[in-house]
Amino acid sequence: MLLEQARRRIEQLRDLHAFISVSDETGEGTVVAVKDLIDVKGMVTTAGGIILPNTPAIEDAPVVRRLREKGCVMVGKTNLHEFAYGVTSFNPHYGSVLNPHDHERLAGGSSGGSAVAVATGMCDWAIGSDTGGSIRIPSGLCGTVGFKPAFGSIDTTGVIPLSRSLDTLGPMAGDVATAARAFSMMTGDAVAEMPRSRPRLAVPAGWIRDLDETVSRTWSVVSRGIPEVEFVAHEPLFRHGLTILRVEASVYHRRWVAEQPEKYGPDVLGHLRDGLEIIAVDYEEARVARPELTAAAYAAMADLDALVLPSNAIVAPRVNAGNEVREPLARFTRPFNLTGQPVVSLPGPSNGLPVGIQVVGRTNAGALAAAMWLEQEWRDLVA
C-alpha cells in the first residue's frame, strides 16, 4: 500500500472516526497506523484526551524508531477510548469509533481506531496497546487479528501509560501471518511459522458462560472436540487485574482529576475517581497474588500449546451502550493481562457480526503458530 492510497481511504471513511491525526510523511514502505498513545516525531500525542500538551513529540517512541529501521512509514495516529480507559472507543473529544460492519455499533476499545484502520484498508497493519483487552476486544468486534504479546516483549517507553504493570504493545492486522511479521518488525524476533502438526488445545474448565446468541453459535462450532482442562479460577485473575489497573491509572491521573476534571469524559472520570477510593491493602493483595497466579497458569498449560476461548461474550454494542458492556467485553481478556501470557484474537466463523476467538499461549511464537493453524482450519467452517 502507498501512503497516498491510505490517506485517501482515511478521508473517504472519516465518519468512522478511526484517526485523530494524519501524518505528512513521505516515502514508501509498509504503512503503519499508530495508536495515539505512542509518540511519533513531529505529531501531537493526545491519548484520546484534551489534557496533554498540544505540542509535537520531539522524537519517536522506541517501537516506532525500530519500525522505521525496518522500512515502515507512519500514516497517522488512531483514535481510542480516552486515555485507553475503556472497552468501547466511545470518545467525547474526537468522535466515537464506529464499527465498520454496522455504523450503529461501536468498534470496541480501547484500540478501536487501530482495528477499524486495519478492517477498512486504511493501513497495512496497526499498533495497539492492551492493558485489559484493548487490542483483543476491538479486534474481536471488528473481525481483525490482534496480538497481545507476553508482558515486557516490547518497550513501552514513549507511550502514555494506563497501568505500567499491565500495559503491552502489539500488532493488529488482517491475518495472523501479517501480525506475526509485524511483531517480528516490532521486536527483532524471528517470524513465527505454521506448526507441522495440530497444536495441543484445551478450553479452561468453568470459564465459558453467558454468551450472546451470535457468539454462542460461533463458539459451539470452534470448540467442538476441544477438551476442557483445569485452569486457574477466573474470578481472582479478573479481580486482581482490575484492581491493579484501577489503582495505577488513578495514580497517574490524580493531579488532573483534582485540577481539571471537566476535561475528562464522564465515564473515564468516574473510573478514575473510583480508583482513588481503593485502599492500599487491596492493591497490595493483588500485587502479591500475581506471581503465584501466573505460575499456576503456566503450570496448568505444561502439556498444552494453547488455550482457546472467546475474545468477547457479546458482539459489538450499539452506539448508546454504557458501562453495562464493560464486563462482558473484557470478561475473557482481562485475566491474561494479569498472567502476562501472549494471546492472539482472530475471527471465528460467523454469518453475522464478527466474533473473535482468543488463542492463549505459553510463548509468543507458540501463540502465533497455534493461531495460524486454527485460522486455516476455520477457513471453510460456517457458524
- Cβ atoms of 356 and 312 within 8 Å: the answer is yes
Catalytic pick from 23, 89, 96, 110? 110
Among 89, 96, 114, 134, the one annotated catalytic:
134
Per the rule left: phi > 0, alpha: psi between -120 and 50, beta: everything else, 152 is left
Say whether 35 is catalytic: yes
> What is the distance of C-alpha 41 from the center of its chain?
23
CB contact at 8 A, 103 and 222: no
State which H helix or E strand residue 177 sits in: helix 176-187
C-alpha cell at 146: 490482534
Report which of 325, 250, 323 is spatially closest to residue 282, judged by C-alpha positions. 250
Handedness of CA 240, 243, 248, 249 (dihedral sign): positive
Residue 310, phi then psi, degrees to nearest 5 = -65, 155
Strand ranges (E), 201-320: 201-204, 228-229, 306-310
Q: Is 185 helix (H, G, I), strand (E, B) or coil?
A: helix
Say which of 23, 35, 96, 250 is annotated catalytic.
Answer: 35
Q: What is the dihedral of CA 361, 141, 190, 201, to 10 degrees?
A: 30
The letter for the amino acid at 213 is E
Give 26-63 as a DSSP string: -S-SEEEEEETTB--BTSB--TTSS-S-SSBBSS--HH
* SS3 category, 32: strand
Catalytic residue list contains 110:
yes
Longest dimension (CA), the chain: 58
| Catalytic center residues | 35, 110, 134
